[in-house]
Copies of this chain bind each other. A is one copy, B any other.
Amino acid sequence: MKIAILRIGHRPYRDKRITTHCGLVGRAFGADCIIIYGEKDENLINSIVDVTKNWGGNFSARFTDSWKSEIKKWKNEGGTVIHLTMYGMPLPGVMDKIHQLEKIMVIIGSEKVPGEVYRLADYNVAIGNQPHSEVAALAVFLDKLNNEVEFKLYFENAKIRVIPQERGKRVERLN
Which residues of A are interface residues toward B (Cβ below 8 A)? Answer: 14-15, 17-18, 21, 24-25, 27-29, 51, 55, 85-92, 115, 118-119, 123-124, 126-133, 135-140, 143, 148, 150-151, 153, 155, 161-162, 164-171
What are 24 of the A-B contact pairs (CB < 8 Å)? Answer: A15-B17, A18-B18, A21-B133, A24-B133, A25-B133, A25-B136, A27-B130, A27-B132, A28-B130, A28-B132, A28-B136, A29-B136, A87-B162, A87-B165, A88-B165, A88-B166, A89-B165, A118-B167, A124-B165, A128-B151, A128-B153, A135-B136, A140-B143, A140-B150
Contact of A128 among B85, B89, B150, B171 (CB under 8 A): B150
> Closest approach, in angstroms, between the C-beta of A7 and any C-beta of chain B?
14
Interface of A is mostly: mixed
Given contacts A25-B133, A133-B135, A138-B136, contact A86 B162 (CB under 8 A): yes
Q: Across the interface, do A168 and B17 meet the contact criterion of CB distance under 8 Å?
A: no
Q: Across the interface, do A87 and B17 meet the contact criterion of CB distance under 8 Å?
A: no
